[in-house]
Amino acid sequence: MDIFESCQKINEAILEKNDVQARNTLIKLLDYHKKNNIEYSPLVNNLIRQLGLYPYIKPVTATWEDRFLFELFKVDIGLEKPVTLHREQSLLLKKLVQGKSLAISAPTSFGKSFVIDAFIKINKPKNVVIIVPTIALTDETRRRLYTKFANEYKIITTTEVSLSDKNIFIFPQERAISYVNKINVLDILIIDEFYKASSDFDKERSPSLLRTIIKLGDKAKQKYFLAPNISSLKKNPFTRNMEFIHLDFNTVFLEKYELYKTIRGNENAKAKALLKILTANKSKSLIYAGTYSNIDKISSLIIDRIKPCTNNSLLYQFSNWLAENYEGNWNLTNLVKRGYGIHNGRLHRSLSQIQIKLFEDNNGLRNIISTSSIIEGVNTSAEQVIIWRNRNGRSRLNDFTYKNIIGRGGRMFQHFIGKIFILEAPPSPVETQLQLEFPNEILGDIDEGKFQNDLSPEQLNRIISYKQDMSKLLGSKIFNDLIENNVFRSSNFDLIKNIAIDIFNNRNEWKGLKYLNSSNVNNWDRLLYKIIKLSPGGWEVKYSIFVAFIKILTKNWDYTIPQLLYKLDDYDVSVDMFFTLERNVSYKFAALLSDVNILQKSILKNENIDISPFIANLSHSFLPPVVYQLEEYGLPRMISKKIQKSGLINFENNEITIHEVISIFNSIGEKYFLTEMKTLDNFDKYIFRYFFEGIKIQFR
């Protein structure tokens, strides 16, 4: 590469006001400098400044003007040293500090977290709510903010936590509803991946996100919504009075290899191409499989064709740990030996987090095979992204999701160029206009007076009719109190109405709910079947298997996972299905039963039935509550069990809170656990160190 000639091309593009082309050429030039260990000249530094990529400036070789600007754009984001923002980050921060509400579309590599952290440090808001799409991203965000702000703020990620004077709440939308009535003053509401409020992108969960935006948006002084790849935002009541800003400001360059043109749909050719990419160099790769079945297909190919690493003790320790604590003949157990991991929405949260940690570790996993969870669940990236399949579950991959996936290629300061290998024809490029509308499911929870100008006549009539029907079933005061207190966990208010009708019309059948509080699991069957049938879809197995699973799961704290799988062998429940069913129990089924309990207490008032204890057990998968919550913090249940047996912490005390447990961990200290607990093996200790990184408070 001729450096001066490249600088000339960059300058010409700047003069032609083609910043995208200029920035792409510059990033490729910076990559050349890095790979050849060449210092930046004052000219290169000046071009970096002109294109707004201020963090890339090398002050040592820059002119005084460029050094001055590098210092001028530094901000405190809670780290030991200030960091330099790029031009567009600084623009957003300025608007937020001025109190403006923003809806932003920016590339994956933009560096949006810096803006949030800088805003908190500068404005010192009292209460901040950050809504993220997944539990995995909840913990990642918590870890980032905890080390910076835990000495000033209470960082809250779970339900039923008492508030402090200053709080940062980090939730998926389903948890946020329970805090609506507890937060009196909300300084800023931040919605990450707010495109998921559209049913076009997440039909199942968009109603709950819209409901959260409505409820918390009413309390928020300021709002900051973030998404990638949105060309325009159609006028809607959810982003009213917010400024929409579309930023096409990339900090890395994506180099695409369109291998599908020679593969031409041939599966054998595709497999050969994948193996060639994976064995050609040592770059880390994210392999987008698209579906669970394609993860299995790629896993089998790798296990069959790639030999285990013989000199990586860390990966062998992890593989042995998986064999002992999950299953020896599991695909993941065998993949790990070869330097590969799996990321999907099924896995235990701590297991996903451990793999991302190993992926970030230079001596850890080289590649990760994933569904779309890799773009929803974590903020990780790699030098290489491989698109194996143009699918997203059952649907074909749309251009929006495709851009989001390939946006994981490259990383600021690490990989200037992200290499994208496309093994199947991508979707046609389209401009994405985001449209947010009231779904029918949440109309029962809408104030028709407040939104009368945003609702159709049919929707207004539906709301009025719904409230009249529910008032007849529950009584007007009771129904209004329930709505005002945001007690329903489901965002499908048609389902809530159908449950109320069923309980109202079949009172005697529902009196048996009290048997769910029985310690004899055989007393549960009839009611479990009855509740499952209220929401026929979504359990992913036959009703009989789901009921059997719930009863066996009651031993979740007493038995190991291999022991539970042995009990479930008669029902053909694999380790992967175990993850799916456990999640369905703790989330979907517990939420459904919670709404049933609320409704039956209002309709069957004289029966004095309350199955809250049973629901609490379901919500924690029959684990002690703090053990279940610690998994979200990255500590697996099997390590918690060893700590319980050591007598250092009593997790079986149901009165102890997650924040109290974290305080106990810090008071005992990481070193004591690692040296005095002889039952922890080497990989237990690796996990424990990672867990402890996320709970230490840095006093500055």
Q: How far is CA 451 from CA 438, 644, 685, in A?
A: 10, 52, 54
Tell me how many helices (H) and strands (E) the chain has.
Answer: 32, 19
Contact 474, 524 (CB under 8 A): no
Structure tokens at 55: 């963090």
What is the average pLDDT across 172-180? 91
In sign, the C-alpha dihedral spanning 432, 434, 440, 442 is positive
Residue 304 reports pLDDT greater than 60: yes
Residues 83-246, CATH architecture: 3-Layer(aba) Sandwich (3.40)
Residue 191 reports pLDDT greater than 50: yes
Which pLDDT score is estimated for 537?
78
What is the Cα gyration radius of the chain? 26
Q: Report DSSP letters for 236-290, one per residue.
A: -GGGTT-EEEE----SSEEEEE-THHHHTT-HHHHHHHHHHHHHH----EEEE--
Residue in the structure block whose two tokens are 């709970």: 695
Q: Report how far residue 468's alpha carbon sits from residue 216's, in angstroms, rounded to the nearest whole number.
A: 26
Classified as helix, coil or strand, 449 is coil
% of the chain residues with pLDDT over 90: 85
Which pLDDT score is estimated for 282?
81
pLDDT per position as a tens digit, 483-537: 999 999 999 999 999 999 999 999 999 999 999 999 999 999 999 999 999 988 7
* Banded model confidence at residue 376, pLDDT cuts 50, 70, 90: low
Closest listed residue to residue 409, CA positions, set 377, 386, 432, 376: 386
pLDDT per position as a tens digit, 115-155: 999 999 999 999 999 999 888 788 889 999 998 999 999 99
In sign, the C-alpha dihedral spanning 383, 388, 391, 393 is negative
Query: At a CB cut-off of 8 Å and minimum separation 6, what does 473 contact?
Result: 479, 497, 500, 501, 504, 603
Which pLDDT score is estimated for 136?
78
Q: Report how far residue 274's alpha carbon sits from residue 300's, in angstroms, rounded to the nearest whole number.
A: 13
Q: Which of 56-70, 82-96, 252-266, 278-292 has the lowest mean pLDDT?
A: 278-292
- Residue 82 neighbours by CB distance under 10 Å: 15
Structure tokens at 221: 């002084």
Residue 402 reports pLDDT greater than 50: yes
What is the average pLDDT across 239-263? 95
Query: At a CB cut-off of 8 Å and minimum separation 6, what does 326 contact?
Result: 332, 333, 561, 562, 575
pLDDT per position as a tens digit, 588-644: 999 999 999 999 999 999 899 999 999 999 999 999 999 999 999 999 999 999 999
Query: At a CB cut-off of 8 Å and minimum separation 6, what does 636 contact?
Result: 325, 348, 350, 351, 354, 687
Task: Give the distance from CA 503 to its chain's centroid.
Answer: 36
Contact 466, 495 (CB under 8 A): no
Residue 372 reports pLDDT greater than 90: no
* Banded model confidence at residue 699, pLDDT cuts 50, 70, 90: very low
| φ, ψ dihedrals at 119, nearest 5° | -60, -45
DSSP 171: E
Task: Give the distance from CA 483 to its chain's centroid.
Answer: 28
Q: Report how far residue 531's alpha carbon sits from residue 499's, in angstroms, rounded to the nearest whole number.
A: 9
- What would you measure as the largest C-alpha separation in the chain, in angstroms? 85
- Phi/psi-derived region of residue 490, left when phi > 0, alpha when psi is between -120 and 50, beta in every other case: beta
Q: Report how far residue 63's alpha carbon sits from residue 51's, in angstroms, rounded to the nearest whole number.
A: 16
Helix residue ranges, H only, 310-379: 313-325, 331-336, 349-360, 373-376
Q: Report how far residue 307's alpha carbon sits from residue 279's, in angstroms, rounded to the nearest whole number.
A: 11
What is the average pLDDT across 15-29? 96
What is the average pLDDT across 296-314? 94
Residue in the structure block whose two tokens are 């095979």: 369
Contact 258, 422 (CB under 8 A): yes
Residue 337 reports pLDDT greater than 70: yes
- Phi/psi-derived region of residue 101, left when phi > 0, alpha when psi is between -120 and 50, beta in every other case: beta
Residue 405 reports pLDDT greater than 50: yes
Q: Report how far residue 316's alpha carbon sits from residue 182's, in angstroms, rounded to the nearest whole number.
A: 47
pLDDT per position as a tens digit, 440-473: 999 999 999 999 999 999 999 999 999 999 999 9
Residue 41 reports pLDDT greater than 50: yes
Q: Report how far residue 224's alpha carbon sits from residue 246's, in angstroms, rounded to the nearest whole number.
A: 13
| φ, ψ dihedrals at 371, nearest 5° | -90, -165
Helix residue ranges, H only, 124-192: 135-149, 173-176
Contact 344, 377 (CB under 8 A): no
Which pLDDT score is estimated for 377?
55
Residue 165 reports pLDDT greater than 80: yes
Average pLDDT, the chain: 93
Burial class, 469, CB count within 10 angstroms (exposed 0-12 / middle 13-18 / buried 19+): middle
Which pLDDT score is estimated for 406?
92
Residue in the structure block whose two tokens are 């009541």: 237
Closest listed residue to residue 562, CA positions, set 323, 227, 223: 323
Structure tokens at 609: 């039935």
Fold of 253-431: Rossmann fold (3.40.50)
What is the average pLDDT across 656-671? 95
* Banded model confidence at residue 79, pLDDT cuts 50, 70, 90: confident
* Banded model confidence at residue 555, pLDDT cuts 50, 70, 90: very high
Residue 700 reports pLDDT greater than 50: no
Which pLDDT score is estimated for 378?
65
Q: Report how far residue 526's alpha carbon sits from residue 547's, in angstroms, rounded to the nearest whole number.
A: 10
DSSP 407: T
Structure tokens at 553: 């799961």
What is the average pLDDT across 150-162? 91
What is the average pLDDT across 531-548? 92
* Banded model confidence at residue 270, pLDDT cuts 50, 70, 90: very high
Closest listed residue to residue 205, CA positions, set 195, 215, 214: 195
What is the average pLDDT across 349-355? 90
In sign, the C-alpha dihedral spanning 13, 18, 21, 25 is positive
Classified as helix, coil or strand, 611 is coil
Q: Report how far residue 83's alpha carbon sits from residue 572's, in angstroms, rounded to the nearest whole number.
A: 53
